[in-house]
Amino acid sequence: MENPANSNETGERYASLSLYRGDRMRLLGFPLEIYQVVRDVVESCWPGGVQREKDQAGLKEIKLRGYPWHGLVPNWCPQDPAASMWLMSRVLERLFNAGWRLIQRTCLGWELDDIDVFLFREIDSPRPREWMAVDISLGRCMLVRAPADIARAVSDLFPTQEKIIQPTYYSIGLPCLPDSFKDKSTSLGMRCSFWILKAAEEHGWSLYTAVKHRSVDSWHLCRETTAPELENPFDTTSDNIIPDDEESIDLITPQSTV
């Protein structure tokens, strides 16, 4: 039976990518070559790579080693805190460059273990864009795949705060208030988010979508560019990886720890 998502009756094609449980991507409606694009990104950008694959009635599933969506990793798979953000930034970028634009992030409610569901529409000849991810949580702003100009602009917003520069991310402390000012602290955190988004827009960036990451949303932004893409800093060739024939335990994380 033909997949309705691939029907040419309307002249458009739709597809979906979902993040399932803590360690899987599910793709529906994409051509085989696009599935291979996503698989290649996982192999090249995620330290644990692909553990196994499954195809059931046209729904293709990639099971990753480790648990990128929950921020939990076994001791055999060291994880940089930016690794899953870098991975999803590259997936969104490669899909866009291949002609698949995100039209909606949603939760369809068909699977209780779906963390995020993304709906895509096929488009013609997208213009090149550069991509970055932003995580604002735990009193810090983490910038992943961010060029120097926007990293400097966000840093300048908080000149007295601690800065951490790593090969894979910039981390910038955010102003905070004591617990006794909880209500005002929430307002301050929201204002910091506004300031960061405004700085990004002033440098040509636009918010593309958000992705659930360690129980909070990370922002994924893009802007038109002719600059070469950043090299992948993550080691995906480590020998410290479990064998392909060794099964990992499915992770069902209690709500309190997600």
pLDDT digits (tens, 9 = 90+) for 69-127: 875 555 545 556 788 899 999 999 999 999 999 999 987 655 555 678 999 999 988 88
Average pLDDT rounded to a whole number, residues 60-76:
75
What are the backbone dihedrals phi and psi of residue 99, each rounded to the nearest 5 degrees, phi first? Answer: 100, 20
Chain centre distance of CA 73: 16
Q: Which is nearest to 18 in space by CA: 69, 52, 89? A: 69
77 by Cβ neighbours in 10 Å (0-12 / 13-18 / 19+) ranks as buried
Residue percentage of the chain with pLDDT more than 70: 72
Q: Which is nearest to 238 in space by CA: 86, 43, 22? A: 43
Q: Which is nearest to 95 in space by CA: 147, 59, 41, 49? A: 41
Higher pLDDT, 138 or 103: 103
The CATH number of domain 129-224 is 1.10.8.60 = no
For residue 120, what are the CA distances in angstroms to 7, 101, 103, 192, 247? 14, 5, 5, 31, 32
Residues 6+ away with beta carbon under 8 Å from 234: 45, 46, 47, 80, 83, 86, 168
What are the backbone dihedrals phi and psi of residue 232, each rounded to the nearest 5 degrees, phi first? Answer: -75, 120
Per-residue pLDDT for 226 more than 80? Answer: no
The reported pTM is: 0.80
Q: Which is nearest to 145 in space by CA: 48, 47, 45? A: 45
Q: How far apart are CA 33 and CA 243, in angstroms?
A: 26
- β-bridge pairing 170-173 and 163-165: antiparallel
**Mean of all residue pLDDT scores within the chain:** 80
Please name the amino acid found at residue 49: G
Please give the pLDDT value at position 234: 60
Q: How far apart are CA 155 and CA 149, in angstroms?
A: 10
* Secondary structure (3-state) at 162: coil
Domain regions of the chain by residue span: 4-127, 129-224
Please give the pLDDT value at position 209: 96
Per-residue pLDDT for 37 more than 70? Answer: yes
Per-residue pLDDT for 230 more than 90? Answer: no
Per-residue pLDDT for 220 more than 60? Answer: yes
